[in-house]
Structure 1
C-alpha cells in the first residue's frame, strides 16, 4: 500500500481507494490490492498476538474476547472468540481469522494471503485449533459473492473499530512499540494509520469486490 498519513473515503479515476484527512491521503492501488490486503492482515495478526502479551494485560480479553486454553499436551496457542451479537462472532487464530454471521454464513481469511473462503456455517462446531477443525471451506461461487462481500465488510469494519479502540485505550505509543520488531523485518503500516487502513480497505472491497473475492 502507498501509505502517507491519513476520513472521507473516495474512489478516484486511477482505480484507487483513498482515505483523506485534510490534504493528506492514504491510497490502496487496485492493481495489487490483494497483496496489500494480505500484508495488512499479516501485520494485524502479529498485533493481536502482541496484544495478548501486553504489559497492560491481555488486551483481547479486556476487549471482550473469551480465551480458551489449549488442550493439555498440545502445542496449539490459546483460542480467542468474541460474540459481537447473538448473530455474529469472530474467532482469532495465529493462522487466520474466522468471521460468522447467521444471515450469510462464515468467511475465513488465512494468514499470508487474502483469498476469502466461504462456508454456509456461521460458527465452528468445534474449537478451531487448526485449519482442519474449521467447517468445510470453498472459494465463493458466483451466487455467493454478495454474501462473501457482506461478511468481509463486517469483519473489516470490526477490525477498524478494534484498532480505534486500541488507539484510545492503550495509545499510539503502545501500538508503535508493538510494531517496532515487526517493522524491522517487514514493510509496515504506521501505527497511527492502522485503523484508517482497514477503513480504506473496506471502501475498496465495497466498490470493487472483484479484486478481493476470487
Structure 2
C-alpha cells in the first residue's frame, strides 16, 4: 500500500520554510528555544523511535520497508544500528536510526532521540550517534519543519493501514507511564515551535 498524503501535509513545512516570517532574523545564528519545548520534542521523538522499532519488528512484516524505506545494515562487527532511508523527492530524504533522525538533501538537520536540539549535518551513513551529535546547531527550521510534516503523514498512514488501535498498542509496551498521541503531538509541537522561536535558548 502506498502512503497517502495527509490532509494537513505541507502545513508544518510551510510555516517553517525559509520564506516564513519566523526565519527572517534567524539565518545567521543557531536556533534557540525554551528548555520545556526541547524536552517535549525529545519525549515525542523518543516515543516515535520506539514506534518505528515496533513497526520494524512487526511479525506480519516490516512496515518501514512497506512504506518505501530502504534498509542498510551496519557493518558486521560494528555493533551499530541499521539505517532506514526514504526518498521524499529527487533530492530530499528522511533517514532514521534507533538513535535519531536526519531530514534534508546533501545537508540537512539531525535530531538525537533524547535531545531535541537540531544540528546541521551532512547526508552520510552513520552507525552510532557520536559523529552526528558533534555537529553544530542548525541555523534554520527548514528541515525541522519537513521532518515534523512527514512524521504526521507517516503516523496518519499507520492509522489508515492498521487502524486506530495499533499505535496505542505498540506505545503501551514502553515502560513510560505517559504515551503520547503522535499525530496530535507533532502538530502541536510544530505550532508551538514557530510561536516561541524568540524564547530562551536551549543549553549546549
Per the normalisation by structure 2, the TM-score is 0.75
Contact 1:89 1:101 in 2 (8 A): yes
Q: Deviations over 1:153-210 (max 9, x none)?
A: 111000011100100012222112211221x434221xxx321211111112223234
Which residue number in structure 2 is paired with residue 43 of structure 1?
Answer: 47
**Whole-angstrom distance in 1 between the partners of 2:195 and 2:153:** 20
Q: Aligned-pair distance for 1:212?
A: 8.9
* Correspondent of 1:70 among 63, 66, 74: 74
Q: Deviations over 1:115-143 (max 9, x none)?
A: 11113x3x22xx11122454961023xxx
Higher strand share: 1
Quick one: higher RCO (CA 8 Å, sep 6+), 1 or 2? 2
**SS of alignment partner, residue 106 of structure 1:** strand
Q: CA–CA distance in 1 between the matches of 2:198 and 2:51?
A: 28
| 1:98 and 1:108 in contact (8 A); partners too | yes
Q: Secondary structure at the match of 1:62?
A: helix
1:84 aligns with 2:76: no
3-state secondary structure, aligned to 1:109:
strand
Q: Secondary structure at the match of 1:114?
A: strand
1:79/1:31 CA distance change after superposition, 3 Å: closer
Name stretches of at least 5 consecutive residues in structure 1 with no aligned partner. 1-6, 10-29
Q: 2:112 aligns with which of 110, 113, 120?
A: 110
The count of aligned residue pairs is 171
TM-score, structure 1 normalization: 0.71
Query: CA 1:130–1:167 in 2, change beyond 3 Å: closer, same or farther?
Result: same
Picking from 192, 196, 209, the partner of 2:184 is 196
C-alpha distance in 2, partners of 1:31/1:71? Answer: 36
1:176–1:167: structure 2 CA closer, same or farther, 3 Å change rule?
Answer: same
1:161 and 2:149 matched:
no
State the Cα deviation string for residues 18-50 of structure 1 (Å, max 9, x = none).
xxxxxxxxxxxx772221111111100100011
Displacement, 1:213? 7.0
Does 2:176 match 1:185? Answer: yes
Q: For residue 130 of structure 1, what is the aligned residue in structure 2?
A: 128
Unaligned runs of 5+ in 2: 1-7, 12-33
Counterpart of 2:166 (choices 165, 174, 177) is 174
Deviates more, 1:150-159 or 1:202-211: 202-211
Over aligned residues, Cα RMSD in angstroms? 2.4
